[in-house]
Amino acid sequence: MRFVQMGLFINQSFIYLKKRYPSVNFNEKDIVNIIIAGTAGQGVITLKRLIEFAAQKAGIRRCFGTEHHGLAQREGAIVSHTRYQKELNKDERKNIQSPLISYGYADLYICIEPVEALRHGLFASSKTTFTINTHSIPGVMITAGLEEYPTLKTIKEKLTQYTDQIFFLDATKLSLSTFNSNKYANIIMLGFAVATRKIPFIQIQNYEEVIKERLREPENNLKALHLGLENGRKIIGDY
């Protein structure tokens, strides 16, 4: 059986990225780069917009974003880029000019489906943190028996060619056990990602305000946010 391809595997020529970019502490003029990846129906776009609206609440001076849609079908691959700066540099050349993140410059991945972390791995480097929902949604080639879905162990091994900051949470299971529905997994993953401290300058209160204003069933979504945050603090800690 052929192992799943889908453009997943990390090209060896990009391993240098692990040495090129050290982990950083953010200052207000730094550009923050976030990748959100998953499949259609998982709330990738909702999560992207929630972060961007929260950034506005937090007084972020500049925030750009873009969405890459795959096949126009449920469970087709989707990835979004969100970039922001708390304050701008006097030299405009040092500020955000494009909504697209360059290879090796992602600070954080929020992956609602695990194999999507590999599909878009070239944006990672040693400074990158991965937060990954362990619940898998096999694609058509896999369900047809033509390809094999990689194990979480394999996914982690591939990603460690870039970074050792890789954290897993079964957000779908948490959503099902808490709400009897899997639709809150994306908000749980947001809370989990907040615990990495890789979404700087945006406070938890900013997310809460946006959830209350823009999402249906705000009470459940607020609970999901804090559920993810609590689990993130336990799993991630002071890495």
Residue 4 forms part of a structural domain:
no
Output the 3-class SS for the chain.
Answer: CEECCCCCCCCHHHCCHHHHCCCCCCCCCCEEEEEEEEECCCCHHHHHHHHHHHHHHCCCCEEEEEEEECCCCCCCEEEEEEEEECCCCCCHHHCCCCCCCCCCCCCEEEECCCHHHHHCHHHCCCCCEEEEECCCCCCHHHHCCCEECCCHHHHHHHHCCCCCCEEEECHHHHHHHHHCCCCCHHHHHHHHHHCCCCCCCCCHHHHHHHHHHHCCCHHHHHHHHHHHHHHHHHHCCCC
Of the candidates 228, 233, 232, 211, the residue with the CA atom closest to the CA atom of residue 47: 211
Residue 14 forms part of a structural domain:
no
Residue 231 forms part of a structural domain:
yes
Residue 7 forms part of a structural domain:
no
Q: Give the C-alpha separation, 222 to 203, whole Å.
A: 14
Residue 218 forms part of a structural domain:
yes
Has residue 9 got a pLDDT over 50? no
Q: What local confidence, expressed as pLDDT, does residue 44 receive? A: 94
10-53 per-position pLDDT tens digit: 444 344 444 444 445 899 999 999 999 999 889 999 999 999 99
| Residues 174-193: b if buried by 16+ CB within 10 A, e if exposed | bbbeebeebbbbbbbbbbbb
Q: What local confidence, expressed as pLDDT, does residue 191 receive? A: 99
Mean pLDDT of the chain: 89
Which domain, by its residues, includes 156? 23-235
Q: What local confidence, expressed as pLDDT, does residue 145 receive? A: 79
Residue 10 forms part of a structural domain:
no
> Within 10 A of 223 (CB to CB), how many other CB atoms are there?
17
Of the candidates 178, 180, 48, 58, the residue with the CA atom closest to the CA atom of residue 110: 48
Torsion angle (degrees, nearest 10) of CA 141, 120, 189, 237: 130
pLDDT mean over 223-236: 98
Confidence of residue 80 (pLDDT cuts 50, 70, 90): very high
pTM: 0.89
Of the candidates 49, 62, 2, the residue with the CA atom closest to the CA atom of residue 210: 49
Contact 125, 186 (CB under 8 A): no
Q: Give the C-alpha separation, 3 to 200, whole Å.
A: 38
Torsion angle (degrees, nearest 10) of CA 237, 169, 85, 218: -110
Residue 1 forms part of a structural domain:
no
pLDDT mean over 105-130: 96
Residue 98 forms part of a structural domain:
yes
Considering its fold, how many domains does the chain have in total? 1
CATH of the domain at 64: 3.40.920.10
Q: What local confidence, expressed as pLDDT, does residue 94 receive? A: 96
